[in-house]
Amino acid sequence: MKWITRERPKIDRIACPWLIKRFIDKEAQIIFVPDKEVLQQAKEMEAIPFDIPGVEFTHYEDRCTFDYFLQKYALTDPALQAIAPIVRGADTDDHSVASQSSGLWAISAGLAFNYTDDYELLEQGMLIYDALYSWAKYLQKEKHTLNPTEQLLLQVFNTYMQQKEGALKIPSWAKELKEIIQDQIDTNLSLSLKEISEGLQVNPAYVSREFSKYFNNMSFGEYIRNLRIEKAIDLLHTTSNSLSEIAYLTGFSDQSHFTRIFKKHTGKNPSDYRKNLPKSKKHTKE
């Protein structure tokens, strides 16, 4: 089969060709063309377009194209399932999804900088994902510090840090970040940790790594989703807005996405939650 996508690949457009050639069709031909030519060239070449808007193989809600390939072809290999959030976090710039996402992004960006030929870039990228697959399949439990003495020292240090965590002084960036989130959550529903971190002049990878220490043991994504669910609950109590309207007002991509996340947080669908509200409480349309 022929598969076609946009030129100058970095994350999804290298991860997906690797997935295709390693697990779906070893003889697949991958074609890179300018963005505006993908659909036309796909028709002329009878190729399947991917990782562009409006086609089957693309992003859905908070999932990237790599996720869809796994679903479409029922690829349940645990190693591939472990790689998926790493790719998703790197491709969507949400490095809180997986701790390895920022590293994958850095390597991919550097690779694209070093290789200007897309097909040579893909060839080198295949090696990167082969290595990532081997790690996910065989080496996830391996640590760089294998010396027993080092392990013991690290264990003692981590225990000490956990005991001292409650006494840690909250850094200024964390205080300022919390204020920014609280100020913007009602108006900016696409808050980006990367953009906020740059505004604070703090490295995004550092903020992502340290975030949970100062925000109720939650990642940035979890914290934002929690605030959105709290806002949704308030809207369910105080307005007669439809569930689609509430999904929009709280920053979810659509009602089904909102329903899934709401049920995960509360144990109930938003419609069932609203039905069980006290009958005496009147809603007022905002």
Q: pLDDT digits over 246-285, tens only?
A: 888 887 777 888 898 899 889 999 999 998 888 644 444 4
Crossing angle (nearest 10°) for helices 118-134 and 12-19: 70
pLDDT tens-place string over residues 24-69: 999 999 999 999 999 999 999 999 999 999 999 999 988 999 999 9
Question: For residue 144, what pLDDT is reported?
Answer: 65
What is the distance between the alpha carbons of residues 61 and 186, in angstroms, rounded to a whole number? 20
Give backbone dihedrals phi and psi of 34, rounded to 5 degrees, phi first.
Answer: -55, 150
pLDDT digits (tens, 9 = 90+) for 166-211: 555 677 777 777 777 665 555 545 566 777 776 777 777 777 778 7
163 pLDDT more than 60? no
Segment among 41-45, 76-80, 112-116, 274-278 with least mean pLDDT: 274-278
Q: What is the pLDDT of residue 280?
A: 47
Amino acid 211: pLDDT: 78
Look at residue 160 in the predicted model and tell me its pLDDT.
57
Does pTM top 0.85 for this prediction? Answer: no
Domains of the chain plus CATH, in order, are: 2-139 (no CATH), 148-216 (no CATH), 222-275 (1.10.10.60)
**DSSP assignment of 156-212:** HHHHHHHHHGGGPPPPHHHHHHHHHHHHHTTT-TT--HHHHHHHHTS-HHHHHHHHH
Whole-number mean pLDDT of the chain? 84
Determine the pLDDT at residue 113. 95
C-alpha distances (whole Å) from 198 to each of 177, 201, 203, 209 are 11, 5, 7, 15
**Contact criterion met (CB below 8 Å) for 240 and 202:** no
